[in-house]
Chain A
Amino acid sequence: MRYAETGFDLEVDLTRGNIERVATDPRLTRLHLGGLGINARILWDRVPPEVEPFSPENLLIFGAGLLVGTPAVGCNRTIVSTFSPQTRLMAYSIMGGFWAPELKYAGYDRVILRGRAAELVYLWIHNDRVEIRDAAHLQGKGAVETAELIRQELREPKAQVAAIGLAGENRVYFASIEQGRSSASRGGIGAVMGDKRLKAIAVRGTRDVHIARPDIFLELVSEVLQYIEVRRNHPIPGVMPILAGLGSPQEMVVHDEKWHTENFSWGNSRHRRKDFWTEEIEKKWTATLESMRTRLISCHNCPMKCAATISVPGQPTYMMKCFSKLTYTMAAMSDLEFGLRIAQLATEHGVDAFSAPQVMAFALELYEAGILTDQDFPGMPADNEGRFYWLLDRIVRREGIGDVLANGTHWAAREIGRGAEEYAHNNIKKHEQLPLKLGMLNPIYFLMYSTGEKINITQIEGNFPQAPFATREEREAFARDWIHVPDERFKQWFVDWELRGERSIPHYPPVDATCEIVNWQEQMHYIDDSIGMCAGLSSFPLKPPYHIHNLPTLISAGAGFDLDEAGLTQIARRNRTLVRAVNIRRGLRREDEKPPADHWRKRFPELETRLLDEYYRYKGWNADGIPTEESLRELSLDDVADDFLQRGILTAGGEARGEATSAQPPAPGE
């Protein structure tokens, strides 16, 4: 018997219309757990680096995390992996909601799609019955609308549906996959789904998911539930509301948006509005949210209510979560009502709420700068909000300038030329980032931004506070019950961290500590993404209910194999390294690993070089960011090592070819 996992994958060849239920190898679970880890393994094994994102040979994998479907609170993630048309690297966007648990109950751990259907289709999974069905009548329909229509035509109100909208059908590079209250948005995976001519996957399951050691498992999960309740009444003092509680975060609950509106940048990630948040605006925005927010809603088996049902007068109801609440508002220099209105259309079209608003603001900047002209925008309204509606429509239909913009700011700028590249200024690895521009380089964030392959900072940051607290007393108080740290040194680094002076950014935390802090935060995300845990209860907030000390027990009690902290840390490293390897084989190198040039005003090139050098070394990667043969073999990734040697990515004996961008020795004691 298999525990926690079902032991079966669904392999679907859309070209041939072939569907197979395939038993999986339990050894893979011990090596990679599931979710992201196994997705990466499959992409490494089966998609050679020369495969184009838009090609039948590219795979699109919907993976449920290892513990999804068990009572582990908040464990409900679907990890969607493929190769991104935008970054051309591995994309692994993750969605909450209800889809992955339903897939487990249907008897599968993941759905692996290959090929390309001749006409638009959707997949219907109902336990053992799996069909590819015609979706001609759904062409052009919104993602939310599609889900409703499919549930109706199947007469299955309980089916969970993941669908694309017009943006995905038209292969917009930042198209999302929408699933009711959740979406997998980053990396343009909706475009790959559209390229496969797959409109949706509907799933319904009525099977069991088994637990190996039920008593231990339940005891631990009950403690988690109690802790969540305690934290509800005890927010962390001294941080902004959004960081004080648990959740992913609870943007739909919070009214106080001073922090976001005054610290994040408006427009095309340009303007900081330091005195924006007035009492009058707070009143107006509170009234807007209160009047349009019908209900706060949760994902499967989680009490946190990070999302809400939103009913904007005159428009269909939809569901919203996270920071999509403000991205349109801020890009268009408008107000919350506009943001909630356009987000309804954007959700139906299925676009990423980070990239889409920035692409539109970028287009308008190019227009103001005279790089694009009236000829590029025939019939565009004069007001900013009208322009955003107009642009969104052109982009999702790929009409006129929309066809260029639909490739994201990086590729659009190259195509437009005439200096447009300067305006695509907020990208990492060709992908739009959070609209955030700050003063002083933060060494921790420098490394996370540079080396992250999840493309979104919120998906790698988390358990270590973003900034020091003002006084030592506050920091000591915070550290007192900070049981989550891997060891006591982390507490010391935090307690000693000052806002100003010698022990402040950029030179504190010191380089070696910075490496460990970044590694810890990233590691927690990689664990979550393999077991399907929501970051909002684990790797993202401060002092979460799940951490490195209780997750090994949870996993072993659930899945039935022994695992301790060292073992889990090793698996997280293996998965992290494998994702890197997949991308290295597709050409990722050190030169790609940098934050936007204007992310911080004050930069420290020598320190940055040292940080990267040291971090790569810490990770077991060479100076070009390539995992070394030794570290690959130590992680039982021998096949990866052999492949790298064969391709000349590594040469026997250690050093990589034509790299070593920095050969300076680390400077003594910074």
Chain B
Amino acid sequence: MSQKTRTIKTIRIDVDKCNGCRACELICSAFHAVPRYSSNNPERARIRVLYDPLRDIYVPVYAGAYAAAECAGRDRYTIDGKEYAECAFCRASCSSRDIFKEPDSGLPLKCDMCEADPPLAEPMCVQWCLAEALTYEERQEEGAAEPALGEIEIGLEALAARHGWQKLVDTVARLAQKDGTPMDAAKP
């Protein structure tokens, strides 16, 4: 892999400023709807707010990489006397919990920083967080370039990790046949 200048995109999260409105979840789900903004469902959001008002817990968490298996152990943080739920700060879409999964398919969700063409000035969740609990930063860094994975690729990788590539390929072929559509005919 070649050395390259990369843009590091960072969202700063200030949990003290979060008011628990969940606007970030809602707008993320709307932004990723097809067509864009045509449907809303926080369960499809790539950010979730861990929320326990009576214990003053407010943690906006971004969906990170898919984890094929859960960690060998769990973590539990106490900060300022507040004990956070198990795995509270973890970004993984993982089999041990129900967040960051498509509600219909169970496929993992991952924050893509609202990739769009033309690019947005700021990710949607940041724009909608008037409380300024979420702020956006970009900086340049030298590092190895990695190919970015598209949504379908992330989903397929997750399925492959669970069932194996061969089974996946067989299933796709079988389903396409059942549809009565030879696979080639799907091309325009």
Instruction: State the A residues within 8 Å of B (CB).
Output: 69-71, 73, 98, 105, 144, 148, 157-158, 180-181, 205-211, 214-215, 217-218, 225, 228-229, 232, 294-303, 305, 309, 316-319
Contacts and interface: CB of A to CB of B under 8 A. Distances in A.
A105 B131 contact: no
A297 B127 CA distance: 19
Nearest to B36: A214
A302 B39 contact: no
Given A181-B53, A297-B20, A228 B130 contact: yes
21 contacts: A70-B40, A105-B42, A157-B51, A206-B43, A207-B103, A208-B33, A208-B39, A208-B40, A208-B41, A211-B40, A218-B30, A225-B130, A297-B20, A298-B19, A300-B22, A301-B22, A302-B23, A305-B19, A309-B54, A309-B56, A317-B56
A298 B30 contact: no
Nearest to A318: B54
A316 B58 CA distance: 19
Contact of A71 (B20, B30, B56, B103): B30
A225 B128 contact: yes
Nearest to B18: A295
A299 B27 contact: no
B26 interface: yes
A303 B39 contact: no
Nearest to B41: A208
A214 B37 contact: yes
Contacts of A309: 53-54, 56
Given A157-B52, A301-B22, 19 more contacts: A71-B27, A71-B40, A105-B43, A208-B33, A208-B39, A209-B39, A210-B39, A211-B37, A211-B38, A215-B36, A225-B128, A225-B130, A232-B130, A294-B56, A295-B19, A295-B53, A297-B53, A303-B19, A305-B131
Nearest to B129: A303
A226 to B, nearest CB: 10
Contacts of B55: 317
Contacts of B27: 71
B134 to A, nearest CB: 12
B90 interface: no
Given A71-B26, A209-B39, A211-B37, A298 B20 contact: yes
A34 to B, nearest CB: 16
A206 B19 contact: no
A148 B36 CA distance: 36
Contacts of B130: 225, 228-229, 232, 303
Given A228-B130, A296-B19, A301 B54 contact: no
10 nearest interchain CB pairs?
A214-B37, A303-B130, A206-B43, A298-B21, A206-B103, A208-B39, A298-B19, A208-B41, A214-B38, A218-B37
B41 A209 contact: yes
Contacts of A319: 53
B184 to A, nearest CB: 31
Contacts of B22: 98, 300-301
Nearest to B48: A158
Nearest to A214: B37
A318 B56 CA distance: 11
A205 B56 CA distance: 24
A515 B110 CA distance: 55
A309 B20 CA distance: 11
B81 interface: no
B180 interface: no
B21 A303 contact: yes
A331 B42 CA distance: 42
Contacts of B26: 71, 300-301
A148 B40 contact: no
Given A71-B30, A206-B43, A303 B37 contact: no
Nearest to B99: A158
A207 B131 CA distance: 27
Interface string B65-92: 0000000000000000000010000000
Interface string B97-141: 000000100000000000000000000000111110000000000
A214 B35 contact: yes
A303 B23 CA distance: 8
Contacts of A316: 54
A297 B56 CA distance: 10
B150 to A, nearest CB: 22
Contact of B37 (A71, A206, A296, A317): A71
